[in-house]
Amino acid sequence: MKHLTTLLLTLLVLGGCGDSSEKAKENWEEARKYFQSGDQESSLVHLKLAAEGGYPIAQYTLGLFSLDKSHPVYDPEKGLVLIEKSYQQGFVQAATRLGTIYQKGDLVEKDFNRSKKYIIEAANKKDPEALYWLGINSFDGINGFQLNRKEGVLYLKESLNLGYRKIEEMVSFMTFYFFEDFQPSKQELDRAEGFLLNDPIFNPTYTEIQRKVKLQNAYTLLAVTYHPNTRHLSDLDKSCDYFKKLHETKNKYGSWMYVTCQEVDLDSKVEITQNLASEGVSAAHHTLGYLYEFGLWGLSKNKEKARYHYRQAMDDVKTSDNQQFYLQFYDTDPLVSDEVEAIKALERLNGSIGKNRYTKNTQNTNSKAINPVAVNAGKEVANFIFEALKFTAEIALAAAVIAVDVAASPQGQAYFEEKNQREREAYIYKQGRRDGERYRSRQKRNMCNIYPNNPGC
């Protein structure tokens, strides 16, 4: 009943509309007066009299109460009749409500044609809620509407600009989440970003836990959206600012990504990575194994420590449930190490493959002996390492030397030539270069996770 009470508060400050008797209008005014004074019973009496006298806003309001199972006047058949009478007198919100009733089909049989007619009619009269439904239905191509994302975006923006504040949080998320479709102006972008950051802080209805979760969700959305590798809206400085905020809230994902930012010095990178490893983050163990294997980031080479961390990286470490929002932006959990890569690293350390097993031979490493395919594969591995771990240029160079050395050996040539194109594409896809169609499908699914009550979810 809470939403109906809120609606009645809005309706009771509106003036009348349509032709009806003066007595009906007087009863409506009395209903408003008693409601504002807290006398709900007297307000309801005069509301009924105003509705019986044909006052459209009273008919609509009483109709809504009649559809509410928790209300004393609950009577869905009567409620539908009252809303239809209000609509026939030109009350635009009644048209919107009829549209949603025939769209949902919980009170009457679903009828998308009638629903569409009512919603479009109300939207043409600039009813903000009707514009919202027209926008969301067009954006998703559901409930009898043709898919038209461009028009859907325009309707949603118009609804928000006309004061339908209920969707501000959703539109703010969508502005970044569906950035390509929304194509926001600088003003719209700033407005959405400001809402996402300020609403969790200043909204008095949130509990402390809700406040914390919403703020972390906002930081995550903005950090990932501005990250050059995951969205078209590229601003690495902003991305790192938000990953830093996540890191400061002890968010494991934020800490992991913050390590990749240039502003973080090597000592801090090592400290953060070690802390994450101590908390059971397998990807951090994998990174430490790599660092100890090759003596990077100021750490001395230590094969035993490298083996230990690689073994730890092979464990299937589960992250805490409160981080699930972050996973909506990645196909795989960035904190969970690739077990296959950890096994390969151990094999390399144990001499199964890698430069520790093969000794350079000047007779076999001249330009004619090196297979160009293997050399290119080695360079690709270096690029993959650089992309995945975001190491400095010095580390990338070291990785390239190792990769080319391995590729030059007969065993290395065989290894790289056996890697088929499908495995390569899967690896690239895992690093974030997503296929457009699958990416769009995931966006739709994830929006339903954020707003499960949206149509189509």
List pLDDT tens digits, range 103-141: 999 889 999 999 999 999 999 999 999 999 999 999 999
Is the Cβ–Cβ distance between 238 and 221 less than 8 Å?
Answer: no
Task: Quote the pLDDT of residue 327.
Answer: 64
The torsion of the CA quartet 152, 153, 158, 159, rounded to 10 degrees, works out to 70
List pLDDT tens digits, range 15-42: 445 445 789 889 999 999 998 888 889 9
Confidence tier at 412 by pLDDT (50, 70, 90): low
Q: Which residue has better confidence, 293 or 405?
A: 293
The arithmetic mean of pLDDT across residues 185-208, rounded, is 93
| Domains with residue ranges and CATH for the chain | 1-90 (no CATH), 216-334 (1.25.40.10), 351-419 (no CATH)
pLDDT at residue 359 greater than cutoff 50? no
Task: Quote the pLDDT of residue 450.
Answer: 54
pLDDT at residue 59 greater than cutoff 70? yes
The arithmetic mean of pLDDT across residues 362-377, rounded, is 43
List pLDDT tens digits, range 375-404: 455 555 545 544 444 444 444 455 555 555
Task: Quote the pLDDT of residue 196.
Answer: 94
pTM of the complete model: 0.67
List pLDDT tens digits, range 288-308: 999 999 999 899 999 999 999
List pLDDT tens digits, range 150-160: 999 999 999 99
Q: Which residue has better confidence, 321 or 318?
A: 318
Question: How far apart are alpha carbons 301 and 130 in whole angstroms?
Answer: 65
